Structure 1
Amino acid sequence: MENLHVEIEKLSGSEAKSLLVNILYRIEFLKQEAGSQSYTVTELLELSQEVRQELQKEKKFEGANKAVHLICGESSAGSLRIGLHYENKIIGFPDFFTVGPLWDLHTEEGRVKRYDWLVNNINYDMDYLEEEYCNRISKTIDQINAIPSSLPIILWTATNSDEQIALRYFLYLLREKKNCMYVINTTKAFQAIYSTKSPQVDLRHSGEVAPEQFEEIYTTKLGEPLTAEKRRELENEWLLLSKQRGNLRVIEKETIQNVHDDYFDSLIIDFVQELHSQYGKTDFILTAKVIGEILFRSPHLINDGYLEYRIRCLVLKGLFEIKGIPKSMRHYSVRLSS
């Protein structure tokens, strides 16, 4: 029972809810279908065994796995998992490396500093941050550490700051492993396969790749083997990144650049000014609308949480006036101060 309690404690909120729904569904089925008390007891024992198996399944790499794939983002991992089917182990890292501190992120102290910054600046759901964020990061790192030496490792990346940083971070975490490793850049692979097709799509993040496209990219064998020399180079680049104190990164000419926190402020202000000119008056504009347009216009990959943080900073600086309560981008509007 003590081991069972420990495994349950490791579950994130969403995992616990999913497991609970499954249990309640089975119990409701028993109420309707069970013809005898002994039958019910048997079914409950089977349910208990299923729950234990569910708790254990993420701890082991199944023997049927042909390779391990690392990718940035749980959504990207979901699409990759569907595309490559069940003979590949997919590990999605649940973070966005473009924003927030990277200082010593490969250590527990660095992860705590990053968490503190997110809590104090980004308008995430507090239940997610408090109950799931740290647990998911910890579980993912444990999965990476548990990769057996017999399996090749495929690292998926793209030409954006998030995934380029993630590539270097992954390789640093894997620095002691002797596995054969390969890198697939989805931006370049997408161009190689689909550049002649119409309409052309400018892929910015692996999260934009459909499952069937992941499968085609992988089976086309567009991955590049990583030499020991290249691995050391990228590991050292991570160490350099992890000593920088900035909170925002972009890609310039395929190079990761640290930029000031206010990098996107002028783009935000210019768009609000543009809308005021279109309307002929300085009406309040829903923050979600402003953020959606900036995400579309920006040549650099950024997420909505960081843009919402910058809009609140512009309010605090007196450049924007606010209407509503800034508990999320859907709950308040802004306009240029008169």
Structure 2
Amino acid sequence: MNRSIKRILEALTEEEMRTILLHQWTLFTYVEEEKISEKEWINQVKEMKKGTERVCEDRLHPFQGEAGKVVEHVHIVFSESTKGSLQLALRRKEETKEEVIALSPMFSIGPIQDLDKEEGIEKRKEWLFNHLVMDDEQWMHMVEDSLKVIEDLRSIPTGVPITIWVGDNAHEQTGLRFVLHLLKNKPNGIYTVQVTDALDFPLHTGELSPARLVSLLERFPSSPLSDESMETYRDEWRALSEENANLRVWERGIQSVSEDYFDATLIQTLKELQFESDMDDYIKAARLIGEVLGHSSQVVGDSFFEYRVRELVLQGEFMLMGVPRGMRYYAVKWHK
């Protein structure tokens, strides 16, 4: 097994873990009472381990090793929250044979070159670690989690239709191009739901409630993407990955921009917040970032904005009070 024991066991429920522990405890008691030999105990442990690994692998790879499972449609989204909402919407429609796969990296930030290879994911992981405040668990398992999702996409059975859900933002639109790059050898029909076009307002699919998603499920696109359209998307992915910028925004298309693209907005917003309160007040970083996020038409995540706040501190634009181990723990003030 090339996946850690911890990661495999995460696929089990708490009840299944308790059952395994009880089973092992019972076997050990039998050995102590000489009801079974140590050799028999070891053989039973080996059999149980094999069975558990099969169950876990089936769950970790939704299209592999499940001869009785029939998947009639696969949906691809770009956040875990969207995945949960769409799964709920599908249950409301009683669509139980449809699978949802989420690609959760923020595609609008960080390097994306060779993102379908382990070395490319490692370089992205290094950049994120050096620039953003990240959850340790997420960072530690980034490479194996990314490779697993890529494997899941490539293992979608032939003939199963695929629908990719996107809004007008650099994150999901870059993700769409990456997915089509990964699926370039798939003969499956591939559809897209462009939610911003369909509903006129959401920038991001994650803004949609399950009820809204149900309404969109009712009016699915009637025809898949043409070969020409898919090739255009793949060409755009190749161009973006070669540019390998660390920030992408949506301006009538995906634009690679410099990392300081939002700095002027952060500075102006901080000035306004200080003016509204007291020019001598420090403003909580979380409040500043929330204000910028709330008025931004871009989807880059609060972690990137916090990175730029810290950079502006280092550049002498902002003064700092507190320890910047997280946006809730420090405040900033414009250096007049």
TM-score when normalising by structure 2: 0.84
CA contact 1:185–1:223 (8 Å) conserved in 2: no
Query: What residue number does 1:3 align with?
Result: none
How is 1:1-338 mapped onto 2 (pairs within 5 angstroms)?
6=1, 9=4, 12=7, 16=9, 19=12, 21-23=14-16, 25-26=18-19, 49=51, 52-61=54-63, 63-85=69-91, 86-130=96-140, 132-191=141-200, 202-222=201-221, 224-253=223-252, 255-338=253-336
1:197 aligns with: none
Using a 3 Å threshold, how does the CA distance of structure 1 residues 102 and 51 change in structure 2: closer, same or farther? closer
Would the alpha carbon gap of residues 176 and 27 (structure 1) be closer, same or farther in structure 2, given more than 3 Å must change?
closer
2: CA distance between counterparts of 1:125 and 1:285?
24
Provide Cα deviations, 1:218-239, integer angstroms capped at 9, x if missing partner. 2222465211111111111110
- List structure 1 runs of 4+ shifted beyond 4 angstroms: 15-18, 23-30, 44-52
% identical equivalent positions: 32
8 Å CA contact 2:118–2:143 kept in 1: the answer is no
CA displacement 1:199-252 (0-9 Å, x = unmatched) = xxx311011112232222122224652111111111111101110032111111
Tell me the secondary structure at the aligned position of residue 225 of structure 1: coil
Paired residues, number:
315
Q: How far 1:283 sits from its partner (Å)?
A: 1.3
Change (3 A) 1:83 1:20: closer
User: What is the TM-score normalised by the length of structure 1?
Assistant: 0.83
Gaps of 5+ in 1: 1-5, 31-35, 192-201
Letter in 2 for 1:53: V
Q: Which residue of 2 aligns with 1:33?
A: none
On the 8 A contact 1:68/1:89 being kept in 2, the answer is yes
Q: For residue 61 of structure 2, what is the amino acid of its counterpart?
A: K
Query: What 5-or-longer segments of structure 2 have no aligned partner?
Result: 24-28, 36-40
Offset, 1:336: 1.2
- The amino acid that maps onto 1:54 is C
Residue deviations 1:13-49 (CA, integer Å, cap 9, x gap) = xx7457474445547999xxxxx989xx9xx999975
